[in-house]
Every structure is written in structure tokens, then in C-alpha cells.
Amino acid sequence: MAIFKGAGVAIVTPFQKDGSVDYESFGKLIEFQIANQTDAIIVCGTTGESSTLSHEEHLAVIQYCVEKVAHRIPVVAGTGSNSTQTAIYLSREAEKLGVDGLLLVTPYYNKGTQNGLYQHFKTIADAVKLPIILYNIPGRTGVTLAPETIVRLCWDVENIVGVKDATGNISQTAHLMHLAGGCLDLYSGEDAIITPILSLGGSGVISVLSNIAPKQTHEICSAFFEGDAAASCQKQLAAIPLVDALFSEVNPIPVKKALERMGMCGGTLRMPLTEMEPAHAAVLEKEMKAYGLL
């Protein structure tokens, strides 16, 4: 059974102006998500700026999220690392904190061969009992988890159950699903191609867009699952200009600007991320208004 089905939000981590975690705003964001039909919360992922959180902060943010959500929807924690031992540590601690699943990114910088990637993920999975979603995002990590390796892991390792596909390569995704034969849950890692991923047998999306438009993103998925592919497609296409604006600069710079504009939290980022360029911010505001968010 899938950890979740539908639209899971890759939630931001709000920061105070001094750079510390803004838990008050984080709590408001979580409640906003649940009130607007988000199907799961993915905490401490790319959008949550996990790469700039200390281990203590990382686990504190996960703990706060789990306690705030209080079993109303699934919580999936990003606990991946380029160090296998660090990923095991974070994964075990997140398991103790009560998350429903883990999201493990491909190891960046030192990369690993396909066999090395297989051993990395298998070793982490063997150290916990939680279901695991692999996170394939070569644009950030510099390494691609091959379809054959993904399928091998899902067949060989009982608690590796799915993949967040942020390759943007729909042909490769189709090849993956052909090889999988139903052995894995596929989540889109790209907000612009949610419906196409669902059409290949996907279970949903792990979404940046959901931070500001949770109900609409949920509906892209729910319409498809209810048998109305045309409505899902229509909703997907309507979101494209806003999605483009949300990725006009590196994520999560634009989505934090959008949340700030909505009064949901401050737009503070941790370096090396910096304030959004004014020209891009103007386009983002224009598209938010066109989408009915402002």
C-alpha cells in the first residue's frame, strides 16, 4: 500500500529574520495544508532547505511536524545524505519520532556507481522498518538513479516502495514503469507534469506548488483518480504559468517569496540562496493573481 496517494506538499521550512526556524509560521503552514486537502506532508526535503539545517534542527523540525499533524495525514521525512551513515542516523531518529515514511535523495557529490547506489539505499533501508521513497533528482545531485536500479531495489528490499521522479524525462519514466510491472509507487517531482505522470500509473506528486495552492494541486490528482482525465489535464494546464514562475529561480526562492506575499510566513532564506530578483518577483505576483491566490 502506498504511503499516500495524491498531492503531498514538499513543505518549506520558515525562518525568522535571524535565520532560526520559525515554528509559529510552520504550524500555520501545516494547518493551512491540512485544511486545504493536502494528502501528505513531506518535511525536510529540498524545498525545506534541509541541506542548510543542522542535524539537531533537522530532527527538531521533523518532530514538530509529526506532533502538529497528529496523524491527520501522513508525514514523510527527508533523511537522505551523501553519507550513508548520516542517512542511517537521520532515518533511525526520524523513525523514533513517528514519521510514516522516509524520502531518500540520491547521494550527491561523491555520487556512486549504480551498484554503489543500490548498496547505499539497501543499507539504509535495512537499518529501519519504515517505507521508503527514493528521490531521483539528477539536476541537483549530479547522478541519475537508473530505472533498472530503482526496480531492482523495489523488488529486493521490502520497505523500498516508491520513487519521486524529478528527472523531467518522461520517456525514462515510461521505461521505468514498464520495467516495474506494478512493484513501485511513482510520484511526480515536477509540478508541470503531474497529469502525465499519473497517466503512466503514478500515485501522485510531491509538490512545490502545493505550498501555495494545496487544494488545486490535490484536485489535479483527485480528478484523474476519479476517472476524469480531461479535468485533470485542464487543471494541470491552468497551473503551468504559475509553475513556471515558481521555478524561474532555484527552488525554494520563489515559493518562499509567494508565501511571504500571501502573508503565510517570512521569505527568509539561508545562504547560498538569496532574495528573488525583482523582475522575477513581479512575474510571480502577476501569475499568483491570475491563478486567484492574491
For position 113, which CATH number holds? Answer: 3.20.20.70
The per-residue pLDDT of the chain, averaged, comes to: 97
Per-residue pLDDT tens over the stretch 232-250:
999 999 999 999 999 999 9
Reported pTM: 0.97
- Cβ-contact 288, 44 below 8 angstroms: no
Report d(CA 264, CA 277) in Å as an integer: 20
Report d(CA 293, CA 258) in Å as an integer: 9
Structural domain total, the chain: 1
- Domain housing 215: 6-227
* Partners of 187 in beta bridges: 164, 204
What per-residue confidence (pLDDT) applies to 206?
Answer: 98
Q: Who contacts 47 (Cβ-Cβ below 8 Å, separation ≥6)? A: 10, 11, 12, 208, 211, 251, 252, 255
Any domain includes 247 = no
Any domain includes 169 = yes
Per-residue pLDDT tens over the stretch 88-111:
999 999 999 999 999 999 999 998
Annotated catalytic residues are: 135, 164
Per-residue pLDDT tens over the stretch 135-160:
999 999 999 999 999 999 999 999 99
Measured between alpha carbons, how far apart are the two ends of the chain, in Å? Answer: 38
Q: Are strands 6-10 and 40-43 parallel, antiparallel or unpaired?
A: parallel
What per-residue confidence (pLDDT) applies to 1?
Answer: 66
Any domain includes 49 = yes
For residue 14, whether the previous peptide bond is cis, meaning omega lies within 30 degrees of 0, is no
For residue 272, whether the previous peptide bond is cis, meaning omega lies within 30 degrees of 0, is yes
At position 109, the amino acid (one-letter code) is: Y
Give residue 84's pLDDT band: very low, low, confident or very high (50, 70, 90). very high
Any domain includes 281 = no
Q: Which three cell numbers stand for residue 133?
A: 521513497
Any domain includes 282 = no
Scan for cell 519504515, then name that residue.
130
Any domain includes 263 = no
What per-residue confidence (pLDDT) applies to 272?
Answer: 96
* Partners of 76 in beta bridges: 42, 101
Report d(CA 26, CA 6) in Å as an integer: 22
Any domain includes 136 = yes
Any domain includes 60 = yes
